[in-house]
Structure 1
Amino acid sequence: MSSDPTTTPVSPLVEQQVDSADTTLHNPRRAVVALGSNLGNRLETLQGAVDALEDTPGVRVKAVSAVYETESVGGPEDQPAYLNAVLVLRTTLPPSSLLERAHAVEDAFGRVREVRWGARTLDVDILAYEGVELDAPDLTLPHPRAHERAFVLAPWLDADPEAEIPGHGFVAELLGKVGEAGVRRREDVALHLPE
Structure 2
Amino acid sequence: MSRAVLSLGGNLGDRAGTLRTALRALSGEGLVARSVLYQTPPWGPVEQPPFLNAVAVVRGDRDAAGWLALAHELEQAAGRTREVRWGPRSLDVDVVTVTADDGTPVVSDDPVLTLPHPRAHERAFVLVPWADLDPAAQLPGHGAVRDLLAALPAEDVAAVQRWEHQA
Taking structure 1 as the reference length, the TM-score comes to 0.78
Indicate which of 108, 123, 127 corresponds to 1:149.
123
What is aligned with 1:158?
A: 132
What is aligned with 2:102?
A: none
Deviations 1:101-150 (A, max 9, x none): 11011011100100000000000100000120111020011100000110
What is aligned with 1:172?
A: 146
CA RMSD of aligned residues (A): 1.1
Would you say 1:71 and 2:41 are equivalent positions?
yes
What is aligned with 2:163?
A: 186
Q: Secondary structure at the match of 2:97?
A: strand
If each structure's helix is expressed as a fraction of its own residues, which one has the higher value? Answer: 2
Tell me how many residue pairs correspond in the alignment. Answer: 159
What is aligned with 1:193?
A: none
If each structure's strand is expressed as a fraction of its own residues, which one has the higher value? Answer: 2
What is aligned with 1:43?
A: 16
In structure 1, list runs of 5 or more residues that go unmatched: 1-27, 191-195
- Aligned-residue sequence identity (percent) comes to 52
Indicate which of 115, 126, 130 corresponds to 2:95.
126
Q: Distance in 2 between matches of 1:73 and 1:188?
A: 22
What is aligned with 2:62?
A: 93
What letter corresponds to residue 96 of structure 1 in structure 2? A
Q: Distance in 2 between matches of 1:169 and 1:106?
A: 29
Q: Distance in 2 between matches of 1:159 and 1:85?
A: 10
The structure with the largest alpha-carbon Rg is 1
Q: How far off is 1:163 after superposition?
A: 0.7
Indicate the larger mover: 128-137 or 46-55: 46-55
What letter corresponds to residue 143 of structure 1 in structure 2? H
Residues 103-114 of structure 1 mapped to structure 2, 5 A cutoff: 103-114=72-83
Q: How far off is 1:41 after superposition?
A: 0.5
1:75–1:116 contact (8 Å) kept in structure 2? no
In structure 2, list runs of 5 or more residues that go unmatched: 100-104
Deviations 1:14-56 (A, max 9, x none): xxxxxxxxxxxxxx2211000001001111100111122233x
Q: How far off is 1:161 after superposition?
A: 2.2
